[in-house]
Amino acid sequence: MKSQELAKAKLPDVPGVYFFRKGKDILYIGKATSLRDRTKSYFAKDLIATRGPLIVDMVFKADTVKWQETDSVLEALILEANLIKQHQPYYNTKEKDDKSWNYVVITKDDLPKVLVIRGKDLFSKHQTPNTKNHSAIFGPFTSGLQLKEALKIVRKIFPFVDASSAKRDNYEFYRQLGLTPDLGSGVGVIPDLIRDPRKIRMDSGSEAGMTRAMDVYKRNLKNIKLFFEGKKKDIVKNLNGEMKLAAKACRFEEAARLRNQIFALEHINDIALLKNDLAPNTKHQKPGFRIEAYDVAHMSGKNMVGVMTVLEDGEINNKEYRSFNIKGFTDANDTGALEEMLSRRFRHVEWGMPDLVVADGGEAQLRVAKQVLKRYQLEIPVVSVVKDERHKPKDILGDEVMAKKMKKEILLGNSEAHRFSIKLHKNKRNKNFLK
């Protein structure tokens, strides 16, 4: 397959799973933060050094690339595992055998645990999974580090017991963090329950409370299973129904918990996964001090474009410049366009991270930039350049230390962003005029 053929496919700049195919045969399945950028990496000149001859052979044999979009990188990770298990692509299984992959299992204990187990500990000599002690098995997952981060995200939504929190001296710590189900530690029940649930002696009140708590935990485990089966929509539908019933019965605390779970599912924060989803097996070498400046250009909301310009150690690096077609707005919404642009940019961790962000505008633009960085859990200083009526810089808002220390570089980056955005806007306007 050639890079020109990939370009014709026009893969989107969104998370998902991609399939290299030869005819109807699936050769390889992978996941991506950006389907477009990840698949491009397979046509890099250093592919053989970074991925080896096996993947080079796969790309050579492939004749098409297909893909499936997901709402988040977390869901792409899970979808990839399910599809590898279903299709067993030659170049996935040849790269790594089942015994070296990671799997998520839910145990059959009286208090079920969610564990990560290596294939060598899960499979028999005949490659048959050990189901004697496990009620569910999910995988294979190709990255142990990403699976660990994925479970952290899932656990914040649906708390569960794992090997560490099942220990007598650890449970209370995990419970206070909201990472394990709250099964009534106040009466000292949990350590005993973890050791042997059948030996517990409780009064009727504690027993009733434990029953309710275990019911909640069982529902959590059911939802974890559905999530790892790729059925997020089913979970949201079920939780909405439970929330309405709880509210109708005036169980408002339960309704609030369910509402929070729904919100978390619909707004999955997978920045930890994004940080680990760099180009395949390549190491990003961070340059010197990097400033990224952003600007938006349009004519009364029409032909709107956004740009990012880059300075490294005070020098312009136009090879790192990026442009964005703003799709979400038809009116002159500069702050909305800036938010869209920054949100898209910070999903591209393979571009590296800036040491300073420069926005064009006033307090509103500064506030939007800070909100986006907070959403992605990035602690990066931000400034904005305020212009006068002649569009000349008159003030720098935001981080005062940076504004004073890097004034020259900030203004240069802002000037470049304005020049670049106007140029692209005019090009887009002329093209549309000729259509």
Helices 334-345, 363-375: crossing angle, 10 deg rounding: 30
Q: Hey, how many other C-beta atoms are within 10 angstroms of the C-beta on 433? A: 8
Cβ–Cβ < 8 Å for 126, 253: no
CB burial of residue 233 (10 Å; 0-12, 13-18, 19+):
exposed
Helices 144-157, 252-266: crossing angle, 10 deg rounding: 150
Superfamily in which the 290-434 domain is placed by CATH? UvrC, RNAse H endonuclease domain (3.30.420.340)
CATH for the stretch 3-72: 3.40.1440.10
The β-bridge relationship of strands 25-32 and 16-22 is antiparallel
Peptide bond into 140 cis (omega under 30): yes
Which range (74-78, 139-143, 220-224, 415-419) has the least confidence?
A: 139-143
Distance CA 210, CA 132 (A): 27
- pLDDT band for 84, please (50, 70, 90 cuts): very high
Distance CA 319, CA 294 (A): 15
HEC string for 71-119? CCHHHHHHHHHHHHHHHCCHHHHHHCCHHHCEEEEEECCCCCCEEEEEH
Q: Which residues pair with 386 in a beta bridge?
A: 395
- Give the CA count within 13 Å in the CB-facing half-sphere of 149: 17
pLDDT tens for 191-215 read 445 545 444 444 344 566 667 778 8
pLDDT attached to residue 295: 93
pLDDT tens for 259-306 read 989 988 988 877 667 655 544 447 444 457 899 999 998 776 577 889
pTM greater than the 0.75 cutoff: no
Residue spans in the chain of domains classed CATH 3.40.1440.10? 3-72
DSSP structure string for 166-193: TSTTTHHHHHHTT-S----GGGT-HHHH
pLDDT tens for 413-422 read 999 999 998 9
- Give the CA count within 13 Å in the CB-facing half-sphere of 148: 5
Residue spans in the chain of domains classed CATH 3.30.420.340? 290-434
